[in-house]
Homo-oligomer: A and B are copies of this chain.
Amino acid sequence: MTATRTVELEGHIIDSGMMQRAFGIVMDLGGDFDVEEFTVGKSKTKESYCRMAVTAETDDDLQEILHELHQIGANLTDPVDAHVEPAPADRVVPHGFYSTTNHPTKVRYEGEWVEVDDIEMDCAIVLEETDGGVRAYTKVLNAIEEGDRVVTDEAGIRVEPPERPRDSSGPFGFMQGGVSSERPSESLIREVADALEATKEQGGKVLVVAGPALIHAGAGDDLARLVREGYVDMISAGNGFATHDIERGLYGTSLGMDMETMEHPRKGHKHHIYTISEVIRAGGIEEAVEEGLIGSGIMYECVRNDVPYVLAGSIRDDGPLPDTITDAVEAQKAIREQAHEADMVLMLSTLLHSVAVGNCLPSTTKVVCVDINPATVTQLLDRGSSQAIGMVTDIGTFVPTLADEILTGESAVTDGGDAEGDGGNDRGDSESDDSRGGHCPGR
C-alpha cells in the first residue's frame, strides 16, 4: 500500500534552488515523485511551474515528506480547507500540529486564503473567528491555551518563500551561499550604511542587537552616536551589555579596563558590581540618568532619545540591573515584539541574543550579522533569513566605520524633514508605552 498526494511549486523555482531541494527531500525521505507538469521560465524574468505527485509507502511517511516540502514552499494542490483541532490543554499542541516556517504563509479557511499574522518559525497557527471574519496568527507553544483552534497537517496551507532578487542591487543577497572573511570589508560596510539609511528614509525601524564585546572593543561611543542621531530605533541586549556601557561612563572602564589608555589594565570585577548596585540604588537606568549618575554612553542616549531597549537576563549575569527582565519567557515576549516591529536588524557580536531575536524574525526582514568568529556568523545566517548579510570582521572597526559612513555624509536623518521627525517621535512614544508590558493577542 502506498500513499500519494500532489504538490505544486511556482516562481523562480530553479534558480532559487527550490526544485533541487524538493527533489532532494522526496528522495532523502524514501519517497517517489512523478512530474505531471513542468514549465520552465524561458527567460530570466519568467517564472516556472511544477506539479508533481509524491508517493510514499505509508501515510506517515508521506506526511513527513509533505511537511518538509511545505517548509520550502511546495504546496498541496488540493483545494481543501486547513484542518483544525483544539489544543488539548494549555501549552499542549494537538497531534500532527502544523509547525511554521518563517516565510509568508496563508491558510485556507472556508475556501478563502487567509494571511497568517506575525509569522515566525516553529510556531503553531491558531485560527480565530472574529467579527470581521477569521484571523490566523502564530502562537509559540508557551502561549497555547486549551481549546485554541490549532492548524494540523499540511493541507490548506501555502508557504511563499521570498525568492532571491536576481537583479537587485544592494548588499542583501551577497552572502548567499556562504560567509567569507575574504571580502572587501570597507565596501561592504558602505553598502550596509546605504541599506540602513534607505531603511530610515522609508520610515522603517532599525533594531540593534548587541553584546558586551562591542563595549570592550571600544565601539560604544560610535553606537551611542548612531542612537543620538536617530539611526537606531530599538536595542536588544543583555544585562552585561548595559552594565559595561554604564560602568564605562562611571569609571572609564569596562570590566576593569581603562578604555582610553589601556595603560592600567585591572582585572577586578568590583566596579562592575558596584555599577549595578548604584543603578539599583537609583531605582533603574532611567532614574540613574535623571539623577545624573549616568551621563554618557549608549544607555544614556537611549533614555535621552526615547529609544526603547530590552535587557534580557541570563544565568551568567551579575546583579542584575533592575531593568533586566530575568524571566526567560517574559524576555522572549519583549524580544518578539521588537523583532516583529523591526525592518532591519543589526546583530553585533552576540550569539545568544542574536539567536533569540532571529528566532522571532520573518524571513523577509533585512539582517546584518557581524562577528569576528565565523562560526557565529554562519550559525546566524543558517537561521533562514533570505535577506541577510554576514560579515566576519572586527566589531571595534565595523561600528566606527559604519557611523562615519552614515554620519559624515551631507545629510543626517534629522534634516529629512517633518515627516521624519514626527515619525521618530511617534515611534518613540508608542514603544516607550508598551514595549514591555504590551499585549500580544496571539500569545
Contact = CB atoms under 8 A, between A and B. Distances in A.
A92 B122 contact: no
Interface string A310-349: 0011111111100010111101100100000000000000
A313 B317 CA distance: 13
Q: How large is the interface on A (under 10, 10 to 19, 20 to 34, 35 or more residues)?
A: 35 or more
A281 B315 contact: no
Contacts of A42: 34-35
Interface in A389-410: 392-394, 396-398, 400-401
A3 to B, nearest CB: 13
B23 A44 contact: yes
A2 interface: no
A332 B352 contact: no
Contacts of A167: 27
Contact of A260 (B217, B315, B316, B436): B436
A218 interface: yes
A343 B96 CA distance: 45
For A38, A71, A182, A327, the residue with the greatest tally of chain B CB atoms inside 10 Å of its CB is A182
Interface stretch (A75-83, A129-137, A272-280, A417-425): A272-280
Number of copies: 4
A316 B315 CA distance: 13
A435 interface: yes
A272 B93 CA distance: 12
A89 B217 CA distance: 34
A113 interface: no
A193 interface: no
A78 B67 CA distance: 44
A327 B320 CA distance: 12
A304 interface: no
Contacts of A319: 91, 141-142
A250 interface: yes
Interface string A254-265: 000111111111
Interface stretch (A14-22, A197-205, A223-231, A294-302): A14-22
Contacts of A326: 327-329
A68 interface: yes
B92 A277 contact: yes
Contacts of A373: 375
A337 to B, nearest CB: 13
18 contacts: A15-B27, A28-B265, A29-B264, A32-B44, A38-B40, A71-B267, A91-B280, A97-B273, A97-B277, A99-B268, A99-B269, A122-B272, A252-B434, A270-B442, A313-B329, A314-B315, A315-B328, A326-B328
Q: Which 6 A-B pairs have the closest CB atoms?
A: A184-B218, A185-B396, A182-B216, A260-B435, A313-B328, A397-B397
Given A250-B441, A315-B352, 10 more contacts: A15-B20, A23-B44, A29-B266, A97-B273, A99-B268, A181-B372, A184-B396, A316-B355, A372-B372, A372-B394
